[in-house]
Amino acid sequence: MWCEDEAGPYQAIAQPGQSWQPEGKPVRHPHEYVRSGTAKMLTLLHPASGQVRVKGVLSSSNAVLHPWLREQLGQIVAGLPPAAPLPSAPVSSEQSQANRADWERWRAGLSVRFTLMSELPPLRVLLILDNLAGHKTPEFVCWLMAHGIMPLYTPLAGSWLNMAESVQRILSRRALGGQEPENPERIMEWLEATARGWNREPPPFEWGGKRATRRLRARERRHALGGSGAMACRPPERYRRRGGKGPRDCRGSNGNAQGK
C-alpha cells in the first residue's frame, strides 16, 4: 500500500520555526514581504517501511502530477516480486474469477465506484488518494488498473485518513522551519534533500501511538451508576440542595451533623 498527496503551496518568505538567536533577542519577522513565488511537494509514502518519494514542483496540475506518478508507480510495480500469470482462456476460470473478486472487494468500499476493466491484471498495489477530480480522470484510472494498481479515495472531509499528510508535515517543518528561502527553487531543493535524509532511517507508519494509547485508556475509564450494569465515562455529579449544601453537608443549629 502506498499513499499519495500534494502539499503546499510554500511561499518563498521567512518561515516560522526554531532558530539560533542571541539570548533575550527573539527572532522577528517583517510584516511586509515581496512575493517571490511558491512551491509544492508531491509525495508518495509507503507506510509499512516509512520510505517516501518526494518531488518539488511549481504547480501540481494533472500535466505535472500524472507523469510523475506513472514514473514512480511503474518503478514500484517493477520492483515487486513477479505475480503468477493469469490464464488467457477460458476467461471464466476460477483463477480469473478470484482475481476479479479481489478488485471488486476493494471497490465495494468506495462511495463512488468506477467501472472495472473487462480484463484485469493481478492486483499488485493499493494507492490511497484524496477525493479530487484530477485523481479520477478515466485515462489515469485506466492506466492504474492496467498496471495492477487499485486507487482508493478518502471520503469527503476525510483527507486526514491519508498518512501521506503526516509525513508531509514532518518534512516541511524540518526543511523550512526557521529558514528564509529566496526563491521557490530553493524550497524544492530543501524539501527533496530532507526526504533523502529521511529515507536513511525511515520509521514505519501505523495507526496508533501514544495519542491512541491515551484515548484507549480514557475509553476504558468507566464509572458504575447506582450499582447497575450501566457505566458512565465520567463520574456523575453529586446531588446538592439549593444553597450548595448536599445531604451530608446539612448541620443542625448546634453544629452537629444530621443524619449519618
pLDDT tens-place string over residues 118-172: 888 888 999 999 888 889 899 999 999 999 999 998 888 778 888 898 899 999 9
pLDDT of 253 reads 47
Q: How confident is the model at residue 252 (pLDDT cuts 50, 70, 90)?
A: very low
Cα gap 159→116, rounded to integer Å: 24
Average pLDDT over residues 82-104: 71
The model carries a pTM of 0.72
Higher pLDDT, 113 or 92: 113
Q: Which range scores top for mean pLDDT: 41-55, 212-226, 238-252?
A: 41-55
pLDDT of 22 reads 84
What's the DSSP call for residue 55?
E
Cα gap 219→72, rounded to integer Å: 42
Asked if pLDDT for residue 25 goes beyond 60, the answer is yes
Cα gap 238→234, rounded to integer Å: 12
pLDDT of 213 reads 76
pLDDT of 9 reads 92
pLDDT of 224 reads 65
pLDDT of 227 reads 59
What distances in angstroms separate CA 12 from CA 38, 162, 234, one per listed residue? Answer: 6, 27, 49
Where do the domains of the chain lie? Answer: 2-19+26-198, 210-249
pLDDT of 225 reads 65
Element spanning 74, H or E: helix 62-78
% of the chain exceeding 70 in pLDDT? 78
Of 169, 171, 174, 184, nearest in space to 12 by CA: 184
Cα gap 151→107, rounded to integer Å: 9
Q: What CATH number is given for 2-19+26-198 in this structure?
A: 3.30.420.10
Q: Is 10 helix (H, G, I), strand (E, B) or coil?
A: strand
Quote the mean pLDDT of the chain.
Answer: 81
7 by Cβ neighbours in 10 Å (0-12 / 13-18 / 19+) ranks as buried
Cα gap 210→256, rounded to integer Å: 50
C-alpha cell at 83: 505475480
% of the chain exceeding 90 in pLDDT? 34
CB 142 within 8 A of CB 119: no
CB 40 within 8 A of CB 6: yes
Element spanning 54, H or E: strand 51-57
pLDDT of 195 reads 94
Q: Is 43 helix (H, G, I), strand (E, B) or coil?
A: strand
CB 128 within 8 A of CB 162: yes
pLDDT of 114 reads 82
CB 121 within 8 A of CB 86: yes
Average pLDDT over residues 186-191: 94
Higher pLDDT, 212 or 137: 137
pLDDT of 236 reads 65
